[in-house]
Amino acid sequence: MPMPSIAKRLLKPAVFTLCLAPALWMGALAFTGGLGANPIEALTRGMGDWALRFLLVGLALTPLKGITGWGWPVRVRRMIGLFAFFYAALHLSSYVVLDQFFDWSAIWKDIIKRPYITVGMATFIALIPLAATSTNAMVRRLGGRRWKMLHRLVYAAGIGGVFHFFMLVKADLREPMIYAVVLAALLGWRIVTIVRKNAATERAI
């Protein structure tokens, strides 16, 4: 069913506002003392949560289009991916600035000695080329095939984000488990579509 033109025009501003809301909410809580006894940890963790959520929402949009036939999910996919990067950058900034006070030698020691920080950093590094090549000009420069191949890194980033979460929780695995199940379903869907596509190509030959 085609989307009414007013909904089409409002889609991106509405999604943009929704994606920005958690940062504004956490900022407001930080300024009003609403982040609890350990506000720095709450802020770092909150931003990490939203980075992972937006990463998974971004991955869910293509399956959503495949299942429903709606066109709008892919129209906001790039924006949601960039918001995942935005929250990951805020998460990292919160750790570097508020948690470690720019103590680069302590940060370096953390990266080497605490495996969950190593995995978090690797995940963040994987997100950089995705954010940097998100413009139309970069899609044209790289060519569709190469761009698509590069953007498969988003699955590695999803695995890295979930793994990072598993590694840092000490006892209660329920929350990272929910993310792991969602990610496994999205990866499963992706594998099934690739297998089906290959089978169809072979039949056509």
Number of residues in contact with ligand HEM under rule CB under 6 A: 21
Write out the binding residues for ligand HEM, residues 147-166 only, by CB under 6 A.
161, 164-165
Nearer to ligand HEM, 117 or 182 (CB): 117
What would the x/- binding string for ligand HEM be over residues 26 to 45, using CB under 6 A? ---------------x--xx
Local structure of 4: helix, strand or coil: coil
CB of 59 to ligand HEM, least distance (A): 11
Residue span binding ligand HEM (CB under 6 A) among the ranges 59-67, 68-76, 121-129, 185-193: 121-129
37 burial type by CB count under 10 A (0-12 exposed, 13-18 middle, 19+ buried): exposed
Contacts of 111 (CB under 8 A, 6+ apart): 117, 118, 121
Q: In terms of residues, how long is the chain?
A: 205
Task: List, as one string, the DSSP characters of 130-147.
Answer: HHHT-SHHHHHHH-HHHH
Contacting residue, 124, 182, 183, 186, with ligand HEM by CB under 6 A: 124
Write out the binding residues for ligand HEM, residues 42-101 only, by CB under 6 A.
44-45, 48-49, 51-52, 55, 88, 91-92, 95
105 burial type by CB count under 10 A (0-12 exposed, 13-18 middle, 19+ buried): exposed
Local structure of 173: helix, strand or coil: coil
Chain residues in the site for ligand HEM (CB under 6 A): 41, 44-45, 48-49, 51-52, 55, 88, 91-92, 95, 117, 120-121, 123-124, 161, 164-165, 168
